[in-house]
Amino acid sequence: MIKALIFDLDGVIVDTAKYHYLAWKELADSLGFEFTKQHNERLKGVSRVKSLEILLEIGNLSFSEEKKHEFAVNKNKKYLEYVTKMDSSEILSGVINFIEDAKANNIKIALGSASKNAMTILKQIDILKYFDAVIDGTSVSKAKPDPEVFLKGAEALGMKPSECIVFEDAQAGVEAAINGGFYCVGIGGEEELGEANYLMSGFENINYKKIIEIIL
């Protein structure tokens, strides 16, 4: 029986990938190489440190740990400039209705995000009130595809993985959910998220009951 829903943040609740892109692109520009939107796809769901490694690999550059730390700090400052201008109009279509309907039926709600900025974003777009538990990049030591973030989310809600559905937009996130024994709904295409139990493009015209009927 499904008793809880665990949501990824970036790409599921809000489209912050565009702000991550702009902030990383600024770094790439300053280092003199091209960083395209296609390159940015590789950074989705991946931690900040790992994202920087991928970015520098794209630019074929290497730096000292100290310099990399400085790059990551500066990128995050830039990212926060965008994030702190966000408001609830940036919540993806259908998400609020979907969550409110589940909550009205006593389904627990958790966040399972790799982002260390998750709390800032949830407050900024005014949806923190919906979450019974928030697990983010500040509370995990192993990045997706390790299932730690979702296992901690289930634990905080007092649920078993088999009682939860995870909603994810990134390949590493879908893998994390499946590795942890969760049901997983992928928000995106077959090519990257084919391992998920069900795929959809977003939260419009669907509710959690329909999803349970389809995946169980």
Count residues binding ligand B16 (CB under 6 A): 20
Site for Mg ion in 19-48 (CB under 5 A): 45
* Given 2, 4, 6, 8, the residue binding Mg ion (CB under 5 A): 8
CB atoms within 10 A of CB 59: 15
Beta strands at 108-112 and 183-187: parallel, antiparallel or unpaired: unpaired
11 makes contact with Mg ion (CB under 5 A)? yes
**Residue 7: both structure tokens together:** 């949501």
Give least dist CB 54 to ligand B16, A. Answer: 10
Start-end of H helices in the chain: 17-31, 37-40, 48-58, 65-83, 95-104, 118-124, 148-157, 171-179, 190-193, 208-215
Among 5, 6, 7, 10, binds Mg ion (CB under 5 A): 10
Which residues, other chains included, contact 105 with Cβ-Cβ below 8 Å and sequence gap of 6+?
A: 208, 209
Part of the chain binding Mg ion (CB under 5 A), chosen from 76-84, 87-95, 101-109, 167-175: 167-175
Positions that interact with ligand B16 (CB under 6 A): 8-11, 20, 43-48, 51, 76, 113-117, 137, 170
Kindly list the catalytic residues: 8, 10
